[in-house]
Amino acid sequence: MKIQPVKGTRDFYPQDMAVRNWLIDGWKRVSVRNGFEEYDGPIFEYLKMFQIKSGDEIAEQLFSFEDRGGRELALRPEITPTLARMVNQQINSLPRPIKWFSVPRLFRAEKPQKGRLREFFQWNIDIIGIDDVLADAETIFCALDYLKEAGLTPDDIVVKISSRKVLAELLKSIGIKENQLDALYVVLDKRSKLPDEAFEEMLAERLPDENKRGKILELMAVESIKQINDCLELSKEAEESIKELSRLFELLDAMGVGDYCVFDIGIVRGLAYYTGIVYEIYDKASELRAIGGGGRYDNLLKLFGGPDIPATGFGIGDCVLGILLEEKGLLSKEISTGRPEYFVAFTDQRYIQKAVEVTSKLRLAKFAANFSYKPVGLSKQLKQASEQKVKKCIIIGSEIENNQLVIKDMATGKQELVKIEQFLTQIES
């Protein structure tokens, strides 16, 4: 019976797995050097948990199911609700700030498209317990530390940054009411994703007042923080929030990643729960979806029944990032599925058990070692060894009757006859 894989999922053959490991190991390594500790939660949780932060609409994007006890469960579409649940559970014993990262496998029941699959990995970084914009800067730095190490330059990618606080103050200053803001964010978030006409139509639906709409369009055309001052008269709160945003850019400059970062008032993020700095990372050519995004969400823990503690963080998926790295030629060079240090060859089938014995001794001494299952001639085995790019080849031949074996250095071609005892003592030490 032949069966297909499910659409939107991936098979990771060894070469694909090597790429996935290379990506994820990079995320882990950079997270750790930035002072983050790894955590993870279950693949499935109660369905209702995923609706707290993202509303009921998220249910349409979920793979959900009932267990035998009739509980409504769902495969996680994101890790943030789990993070909130876990932190709240141990809020009194966790030292702060909580600097955690995770590389969860996530699931969304969406139509598979380029850069969007039903099953993917996402790098998540969060700092909980710091309301200083320095924490936002550190998360952005951490993302860029990885992307830079992967070989992406400011010619390849850009972090577009804005502030929900700034936007809220500016919108209020042109007469938008506090309780209209969340609905408006959803529309403004669509601006760069829609043709101008469609966007303006959508905006008009939400906001009938033409005068206010004009001011919003003017505001959304602002290209620098400085320009905001020319465009509007600022309240004290607006000035404060602009100062904070400016400090973020200063910090990113001091951190040495300022050249990747620009202010973009069009970055809004659709979700209601962002409260401060927001950002998205794009390929410079804007040909792909966002590589990742994040921001400050000071109400998160409270939303999940916990205390009022500030938080900021981001998520970067593996699909768009993988496509970009591939396009830029940054994937293939470094990645291999593993290279053994030793290949143990035999000159005659009689010696295969001895070859297996030596291979096993090498492995127990923590060396990667291979032998050939096929009893082919020595020259073919040496060819295999050379294809596998091993450093040294051990040859078991008639010398074994005198307890000796041959060690061939594959780089220099030099061969050496060594007592087996001596060789084994050497590798074990």
CB of 226 to a second copy, least distance (A): 22
Q: Which of 22, 26, 59, 63 binds a second copy (CB under 8 A)?
A: 63
The residue among 11 and 308 lying less far from a second copy, judged by its C-beta, is 11
Q: Which one, 234 or 255, has the nearer CB to a second copy?
A: 255
Q: What is the DSSP letter of 408?
A: E
Bridge partners of 392, per DSSP, are 342, 409
Residue 417 makes contact with a second copy by CB under 8 A = no
Cβ of residue 46: shortest distance to a second copy, in angstroms?
A: 6
Q: Which residues pair with 119 in a beta bridge?
A: 107
Give bridge partners of residue 68 from the DSSP assignment: none
Q: Which residues contact 342 (CB under 8 A, 6 or more apart)?
A: 359, 362, 367, 368, 369, 370, 390, 391, 392, 393, 394
- 217 is a contact residue toward a second copy (CB under 8 A): no
- Letters for 21-60 (x = contact with a second copy by CB under 8 A, - = none) are x--------x-xxxx-xxxxxxxxxx-xx--x--------
Identity of the residue numbered 187: V
Q: Which of the 8 DSSP states describes residue 5? A: P
* Residues in region 333-372 near a second copy by CB under 8 A: 337-338, 340, 352-354, 356-357, 360-361, 363-364, 366-370
The answer to whether residue 260 forms part of the interface with a second copy (CB under 8 A) is no
Nearer to a second copy, 52 or 418 (CB): 52
Residue closer to a second copy by CB (options 50, 274) is: 50
Longest Cα separation, the chain: 98
305 binds a second copy, rule: CB under 8 A: yes
Positions in 106-135 near a second copy (CB under 8 A) = 107, 109, 119, 130, 132, 134-135
Q: Does 17 bind a second copy (CB under 8 A)?
A: yes
What does the per-residue mask of binding to a second copy show for 80-99, with x meaning CB under 8 A?
Answer: -xx--xx-xxx------x--
Closest CB 99 distance from a second copy, rounded Å: 9
Q: Strand 119-128 relative to strand 64-66: parallel, antiparallel, unpaired?
A: unpaired
Side chain identity, residue 225: I
Alpha-carbon distance 327 to 307, whole Å? 44
| 391 interacts with a second copy by CB under 8 A | no
Cα–Cα distance between 61 and 293 in angstroms, integer? 19
Please give the Cα distance from 217 to 428 (Å, whole number): 72
Question: Exactly one of 20, 212, 213, 328 binds a second copy (CB under 8 A); which one?
Answer: 20
| 192/246 with CB nearer a second copy | 246
Shortest distance in whole angstroms from residue 265 CB to a second copy = 26
Tokens 């969304």 appear where? Answer: 108
CA distance 269 to 280: 8
Q: Site for a second copy (CB under 8 A): how many residues?
A: 92
Query: Which CB, 201 or 250, lies closer to a second copy?
Result: 250
Min separation Cβ 160 and a second copy, Å: 21
Which one-letter amino acid corresponds to residue 352? I
* Shorter beta-carbon distance to a second copy: residue 154 or 266: 154
Question: Using an 8 Å Cβ cutoff, are 112 and 82 in contact?
Answer: no
Least separation, in Å, of the C-beta of 362 and a second copy? 8
CA distance linking residue 12 with residue 302, whole number of Å: 39
Tell me how far CA of residue 274 lies from CA of 67, 143, 300, in angstroms: 33, 19, 9
